[in-house]
Structure 1
Amino acid sequence: MNFRGEEMKKRGFEIVAKYADAGLNLPQRQTKQAAGYDFEAAADFVVPSIWKQGLFKALHAIKHAAKPGEEELTAGDQALKPVLVPTGIKAYMQPDEVLMLFNRSSGPLKRRLILPNGVGIIDADYYNNPANEGEIFVQLLNYGLFDYHIKKGERIAQGIFMPYLTADDESMPKNDRAGGFGSTKK
């Protein structure tokens, strides 16, 4: 409770302003014992097959050429770049919590879609950041032979809120988040 007697919100989801009138659903658990909240795509989206974008040429050049050309290598590298699928959702949580994004079990099995980073990490200070209001995007890579057409409202990932621990005698970071997705720079 805060000083006015109102209960403070601990963690949850909101729709970002850009999608306020888009008819999006907030992430939900699908069963009583489910740990993950299913995230849906905010719009129709195509996840291209890595095999249609020059990856074969790059692999062939690497295997058969004494020195593969820069063009083939660049095309192959670009083919392996994931796409960012918008969800239109932001998450708020306590300062000592994180939202972890995972594949849904049907993603690789039925659709050949994976999160190439394995687990997406959404920090508490990502919420309402000035760069993108904290909108959560799901990185996806399509290793299937066909492009995959995601429909608006299709469930594409699941998120689990987790507490985290910090190390003893840690020097407290002095930086505040300045940007959106992938903004932490070294």
Structure 2
Amino acid sequence: MRQRGFEIVSSYIDKGIALPRRQTAASAGYDFAAAEDVVAAPQTVTLIPTGLKAYMLPDEYLSIHIRSSLAVKHGLSLINGQGIIDADYYNNPTNEGHIILAVFNHGTQAVQIAKGTRIAQGIFNKYLLVDNDRIAGATRTGGIGSTGK
């Protein structure tokens, strides 16, 4: 039985996308790279496609963190601080679970991001539920932000 991992979304199958991997034996995070060349304009949110989706167990999520080199050297951050990919985001009907990184450029100069540049790291996490947790029948019906409508 598959427990957790990464796949390439169908629209990026033949575009040379590499699956995330850890860089050292003690690395917690799996590196995500840009699937296309992108320019992060100053003082603007830029969406960076990864061409990837992640599957995991129902009581897990994938946390996404900007790589420190991009934050320190180029003034980039994830616009929401940390991304959270829920287990039911995988293969959702709107965007197939495509992980897209929303990056903010705090600087005054545009930042060129080439395809293959490692942008963020993903770390799989377990989570806990409160006593008597109840879901009001909500199911994911789409992609980014779909559970908050």
TM-score band w.r.t. shorter chain = over 0.9
SS in 1 for 2:146: coil
- Residue 185 of structure 1 and its aligned partner are, at CA, apart by 2.4
How far apart, CA to CA, are the structure 1 residues paired with 2:2 and 2:136? Answer: 26
Q: What CA RMSD, in Å, does the superposition of the two structures yield over aligned residues? A: 0.9
Matched, 1:153 2:146: no
**Residue 14 (structure 1) aligns with:** 7
How far apart, CA to CA, are the structure 2 residues paired with 1:18 and 1:101? Answer: 22
1:48 to 30, 41, 44: 41
Percent of aligned pairs with the same amino acid: 54
2:96 to 133, 137, 146: 133
- Residue 105 of structure 1 and its aligned partner are, at CA, apart by 1.1
1:170 to 130, 133, 147: 133
For 1:26-175, list aligned pairs within 5 A. 26-50=19-43, 79=44, 82-175=45-138
Equivalenced residue count is 149
Q: Which has the larger radius of gyration?
A: 1
* Greater strand content: 2
Moved over 3 A (4+): none
SS in 2 for 1:184: helix
- Residue 173 of structure 1 and its aligned partner are, at CA, apart by 3.5
How far apart, CA to CA, are the structure 2 residues paired with 1:108 and 1:185? Answer: 28
Q: Which amino acid in structure 1 is aligned with residue 79 of structure 2?
A: P
Q: Which amino acid in structure 2 is aligned with residue 135 of structure 1?
A: H
How far apart, CA to CA, are the structure 2 residues paired with 1:100 and 1:167? Answer: 20
- Residue 25 of structure 1 and its aligned partner are, at CA, apart by 0.4
Q: Which amino acid in structure 1 is aligned with residue 109 of structure 2?
A: F
How far apart, CA to CA, are the structure 1 residues paired with 2:14 and 2:55? Answer: 20
How far apart, CA to CA, are the structure 1 residues paired with 2:50 and 2:132? Answer: 37
